A and B are shown apart, each in its own frame.
Chain A
């Protein structure tokens, strides 16, 4: 009960300015209460406000509930493995592995297998996959199904641990901020309670493992699952604060599909924040760490590339994998924006527009890093989403990775504006993809325009979703600094408008 007393003391301190002295360290404030037992102050404080605050602060000793969550996680894992195993054995597996929404030329299992056999028998290097993945095929080709299930499991567990760690940090930060009285008083309802945060890691794992998109992608044996696992491990190692591992996984992810390069910025920002190094170009410590991280990243990238070279004895894979990603020669329809556009394009404009489209993917890193430099984890989410929307060969597996993060931002729910519309659009599009594909390819009665229209709508839906979350995040931060109930200068109620 001393703890709760202490908590009330914080509150009281917050509500009556005259008690607080600037230099009183927070940990002796328990005595402040004893020193200034003013009954008036107690009356000032709204009882409704005190109770949740006390509850919040009661968690301070353990920081975050560490109850056993392994059992439900295991349950989810078993359930997801069962679903996948059933689907692998059903006749649907063949059908799913040929859907253009699920596999792209870059990550199709069949094409990877083809590369593998061609390489093995004729020693001709014909690549759609990076050499390391093909080398991996060497070991897993007979147990592909199990391997893909395990990879999904690894991704989910990595995300689970990462989010658990992140939530702990968020909660700790919130507590310090509360203790330091940095939040306006009407923002209590924006505070996050341990109760609601308790199940978030589990929900994240569930969102990833039971998402139909992930299941489809796994059943199709798309190597997208491997990329997702590498990204998830990158996120985990970054959040755990291991700069070296983070750089290695980032290098692996970049090696796999180039685009994760944009995750360098959030990774660096997070590690800087963790080491309490301010992002300030005038400080040498900032530069020292940045260079250190970049060297680790570039070094491991070089090692991986050279390893591929020694495995193969030629550099052919660089143009055939990265050239394939960047110059988009394969215009098989998919859920992305490239294929239709470049199928229609006059040949002499092609180079220009490819540059525009590819720069588009990388460009968002700069403004977002500036805006979100205090919130690198949200920045990671934004970047993954942008990559999966704008990359040259997107599949539903990429979408599943950023969708797994949605439960982490469940506290933004009240600020989301279009979530109903967006979920309707995404739902309808997901159902319409196979229908319009059927009409176009099998029935011959519709054409590519129908399919592309749905692709466009699907991507607009995703962009709306991501920008909605972005707006909601910024808005919450704004309220946390300015107070929840904004007033205009004349005292009337103000609303925030994004135009």
Chain B
């Protein structure tokens, strides 16, 4: 406590921090970025290991025999699907019932706020079919879910076939201690959302659905299966869920352990693991994998059907079959065995998965970075904001030499009116509210007056409000509070810096990737901006570092990392669709990225914009 009470030492530290503020900030920024990039370097990461005792030591034997039969079922399913022109509900009910499951259906409907052009849907009606295999060995208080989507067209038939094959096989086994629910859902995530809301008796997104007739116990874990071909070369594990939530790391470990055991190639982010970590290519590869995970997590959208389960405290992952041009193929029997093994181990669980990590990044399937390793990178970036705030505080308090000790010359300067600080804050937030509400509300009007479709209208309105916000605040605050003072912008900047620091800190705790990406672009802008820098140049820099442009860069980076680079025009179209998807995700599933950006981050950035044009 000596540091907090000894005036001399405090004075020394404060003067050091104010004198060397800029160099320390630059060093912090570079160190933060370097630390983050270093996370992908294999020696700095930890090896994954199974923490859950119930899944580690218990041996299970996989005996699933009927891969061919499952594929035959898949073909039958495809034929019925074609005949009905959608989900063959009656056939599914009949087949599941024939296998001895308790079968129920749930119909749901949902009107989208505006048409979804990428999936071509506006008014969605559909039916979920699920069968429950009751556990013979336990009091049926817990359940596991295996799900497969019934996708339009010819895709994903094999997944449903395999699901039915597994159901038939599981029915004949006696060791189940948890109910197993086999769910075939229509309209991908919307169907899952309706089913989960029905199962848990909640309605958070305004979905219309019929109540579930049959229920099992509380769901412990869920696996979602996506399979498009009879044979696959590798299986891809998808972990990123709604709002960047991740399942317990043990689920990934379980998947990896069974892939090793059965000799199936497994990938994460579609990237195979490389063994040459000490070469440049090896490092680049794992850095790419990690960056892909960061970008996917930051988007806050569910990247597979499992993504919505996570919100209900259910550990879930999607497993996606990939068929590429490799020689080595895996047949449906092996995939079935993989699922059998995973479900049997999950069946052995005594409590929910909780032993392993929930906060992690994966540069490869066998390596992970835990929260303790990646948080310092973010911490270094936030330190800059706090250092700048401290600097401003010291300057504000003492125009004359530092009076930390209270015994100082000079009177405190006349404090700027509360109004001159409050006005920009209120106006920025009102702009944020406009950005959040107007695009969806005003689509009809926009469609009437401009030759655009509804989706385009929403996206373009959002961009228009975003751009208009740049002009608005710094013009209005002068009208109300008169001329801004030198003290005025300092106080405003102090408030804005602390606001940004708290905002980014909270974001990073919930969704590290989003917090970090925002920090990388927003922190330099926030740290450097004053009214005394050259206006035009710094205005351009500020716009380039604004949240909207960050999304644009992320789109290009994502395409680059996925090795499907796009041209500028295509990138722009992708950017537009990303915005409309973000708004839709918020409306449909309750993703928080859009409201966070519109209501908090953008107004905060506007405050800095306001400082730049302070007169």
Are B2's CB and A499's CB within 8 A? yes
Are A497's CB and B506's CB within 8 A? no
Q: How far is the CA of A443 from the CA of B512 in the complex (A)?
A: 14
Query: Which segment, of B3-11, B117-125, B287-295, B601-609, faces chain A?
Result: B3-11
Shortest C-beta distance, B498 to chain A (Å), equals 6
Are B358's CB and A418's CB within 8 A? no
Interface residues of B in 1-36 (CB under 8 A from A): 2, 4-8, 10
Shortest C-beta distance, A450 to chain B (Å), equals 8
Are B7's CB and A414's CB within 8 A? no
B589 an interface residue at 8 Å Cβ cutoff?
Answer: no
Given the known inter-chain contacts A418-B4, A432-B505, A497-B7, please indicate yes or no for A439 contacting B406, CB distance below 8 A.
no
Over the window 444-459 of chain A, the binary record of Cβ atoms lying under 8 Å from chain B Cβ atoms (1 yes, 0 no) is 1110000000000000
The residues of A that contact B405 with a CB separation of less than 8 Å are 495-496
B407 an interface residue at 8 Å Cβ cutoff?
Answer: yes
The residues of B that contact A418 with a CB separation of less than 8 Å are 4
Are A417's CB and B4's CB within 8 A? yes
Are A497's CB and B406's CB within 8 A? no
Are B407's CB and A484's CB within 8 A? yes
Most buried by A among B4, B352, B411: B4
A271 an interface residue at 8 Å Cβ cutoff?
Answer: no
The residues of B that contact A475 with a CB separation of less than 8 Å are 406
Are A444's CB and B7's CB within 8 A? no
Interface residues of B in 401-450 (CB under 8 A from A): 403-408, 411-412
Interface residues of A in 418-432 (CB under 8 A from B): 418, 420-421, 424, 427-428, 431-432
Q: How far is the CA of A420 from the CA of B311 in the complex (A)?
A: 38
Q: How far is the CA of A435 from the CA of B405 in the complex (A)?
A: 36
The residues of A that contact B354 with a CB separation of less than 8 Å are 444
Shortest C-beta distance, B422 to chain A (Å), equals 12
Q: How far is the CA of A193 from the CA of B407 in the complex (A)?
A: 19
A442 an interface residue at 8 Å Cβ cutoff?
Answer: yes
A-B contact count (CB 8 A): 79
A498 an interface residue at 8 Å Cβ cutoff?
Answer: yes
| CB nearest neighbor in A for B354 | A444
Are A435's CB and B506's CB within 8 A? yes
The residues of A that contact B404 with a CB separation of less than 8 Å are 417
Which listed residue (B5, B498, B510) contacts A498, Cβ 8 A? B5
The residues of B that contact A495 with a CB separation of less than 8 Å are 7-8, 405, 407
B313 an interface residue at 8 Å Cβ cutoff?
Answer: yes
B245 an interface residue at 8 Å Cβ cutoff?
Answer: yes
Interface of B is mostly: helix
| CB nearest neighbor in B for A428 | B502
Are A428's CB and B505's CB within 8 A? yes
The residues of A that contact B510 with a CB separation of less than 8 Å are 435, 438-439, 443
The residues of A that contact B2 with a CB separation of less than 8 Å are 499
Given the known inter-chain contacts A435-B510, A499-B5, please indicate yes or no for A443 contacting B505, CB distance below 8 A.
no
Are B506's CB and A432's CB within 8 A? yes
Are A464's CB and B7's CB within 8 A? no
B489 an interface residue at 8 Å Cβ cutoff?
Answer: no
A272 an interface residue at 8 Å Cβ cutoff?
Answer: no
Q: How far is the CA of A290 from the CA of B265 in the complex (A)?
A: 85
Q: How far is the CA of A471 from the CA of B403 in the complex (A)?
A: 16
Given the known inter-chain contacts A432-B509, A497-B7, please indicate yes or no for A445 contacting B498, CB distance below 8 A.
no
Shortest C-beta distance, B233 to chain A (Å), equals 33
The residues of A that contact B506 with a CB separation of less than 8 Å are 431-432, 435
A415 an interface residue at 8 Å Cβ cutoff?
Answer: yes
The residues of A that contact B390 with a CB separation of less than 8 Å are 420
| CB nearest neighbor in A for B499 | A427
A436 an interface residue at 8 Å Cβ cutoff?
Answer: yes
Shortest C-beta distance, B326 to chain A (Å), equals 36
Q: How far is the CA of A187 from the CA of B245 in the complex (A)?
A: 59
Interface residues of A in 480-499 (CB under 8 A from B): 484-486, 495-499
Interface residues on A, range: 35 or more
| CB nearest neighbor in B for A414 | B406
Most buried by A among B7, B246, B407, B411: B407
Are A427's CB and B502's CB within 8 A? yes
B386 an interface residue at 8 Å Cβ cutoff?
Answer: yes
B91 an interface residue at 8 Å Cβ cutoff?
Answer: no
| CB nearest neighbor in B for A472 | B406
The residues of A that contact B328 with a CB separation of less than 8 Å are none
Given the known inter-chain contacts A424-B386, A443-B245, please indicate yes or no for A414 contacting B5, CB distance below 8 A.
no
| CB nearest neighbor in A for B5 | A498
Are B393's CB and A420's CB within 8 A? yes
The residues of B that contact A415 with a CB separation of less than 8 Å are 406
Q: Number of contacting residues on B, CB 8 A?
A: 36
Shortest C-beta distance, A495 to chain B (Å), equals 5
Most buried by A among B389, B393, B502, B503: B502
Most buried by B among A435, A471, A499: A435
Given the known inter-chain contacts A414-B403, A495-B407, please indicate yes or no for A427 contacting B498, CB distance below 8 A.
yes
Are A499's CB and B6's CB within 8 A? yes
| CB nearest neighbor in B for A441 | B313
Interface residues of B in 109-156 (CB under 8 A from A): none
Q: How far is the CA of A427 from the CA of B505 in the complex (A)?
A: 12
Q: How far is the CA of A276 from the CA of B510 in the complex (A)?
A: 59
Given the known inter-chain contacts A432-B509, A498-B5, please indicate yes or no for A417 contacting B10, CB distance below 8 A.
yes
The residues of B that contact A431 with a CB separation of less than 8 Å are 502-503, 505-506
B108 an interface residue at 8 Å Cβ cutoff?
Answer: no
B359 an interface residue at 8 Å Cβ cutoff?
Answer: yes
Q: How far is the CA of A486 from the CA of B7 in the complex (A)?
A: 15
The residues of A that contact B359 with a CB separation of less than 8 Å are 445
Shortest C-beta distance, B250 to chain A (Å), equals 13
Are A436's CB and B509's CB within 8 A? yes
The residues of A that contact B4 with a CB separation of less than 8 Å are 417-418, 421, 464
| CB nearest neighbor in A for B411 | A189
| CB nearest neighbor in A for B315 | A444
| CB nearest neighbor in A for B509 | A435
Which listed residue (A446, A464, A486) contacts B358, Cβ 8 A? A446
The residues of B that contact A424 with a CB separation of less than 8 Å are 386, 389, 498
The residues of B that contact A496 with a CB separation of less than 8 Å are 7, 405
Are A497's CB and B6's CB within 8 A? yes
Interface residues of B in 500-523 (CB under 8 A from A): 501-503, 505-506, 509-510
Interface residues of B in 331-359 (CB under 8 A from A): 352, 354, 358-359
Which listed residue (B5, B408, B412, B501) contacts A417, Cβ 8 A? B5
Q: How far is the CA of A424 from the CA of B505 in the complex (A)?
A: 13
Q: How far is the CA of A424 from the CA of B386 in the complex (A)?
A: 9
The residues of A that contact B412 with a CB separation of less than 8 Å are 413-414
Shortest C-beta distance, B514 to chain A (Å), equals 13
Q: How far is the CA of A443 from the CA of B358 in the complex (A)?
A: 10
Are B393's CB and A444's CB within 8 A? no
Are A497's CB and B5's CB within 8 A? yes
Shortest C-beta distance, A98 to chain B (Å), equals 15
The residues of B that contact A189 with a CB separation of less than 8 Å are 411
Q: How far is the CA of A435 from the CA of B600 in the complex (A)?
A: 15
Are A445's CB and B358's CB within 8 A? yes
Over the window 330-358 of chain A, the binary record of Cβ atoms lying under 8 Å from chain B Cβ atoms (1 yes, 0 no) is 00000000000000000000000000000
Q: How far is the CA of A486 from the CA of B407 in the complex (A)?
A: 9
The residues of B that contact A438 with a CB separation of less than 8 Å are 510
Most buried by A among B245, B246, B390, B405: B405
Shortest C-beta distance, A32 to chain B (Å), equals 32
The residues of A that contact B502 with a CB separation of less than 8 Å are 427-428, 431
- Give 5 closest A-B pairs by Cβ, nearest first: A445-B358, A415-B406, A444-B313, A435-B506, A498-B5
Interface pairs (30), CB distance under 8 Å: A414-B406, A414-B412, A415-B406, A416-B406, A420-B390, A424-B386, A424-B389, A427-B498, A427-B502, A431-B505, A432-B505, A432-B506, A435-B506, A435-B510, A442-B311, A442-B313, A443-B245, A444-B352, A444-B358, A485-B407, A486-B407, A495-B7, A495-B8, A495-B405, A495-B407, A496-B7, A497-B5, A497-B8, A499-B5, A499-B6
Given contacts A443-B311, A443-B510, A446-B358, 14 further A-B contacts (CB under 8 A): A424-B386, A424-B389, A424-B498, A428-B501, A431-B505, A432-B509, A435-B510, A436-B509, A438-B510, A443-B245, A444-B313, A495-B7, A496-B7, A499-B6
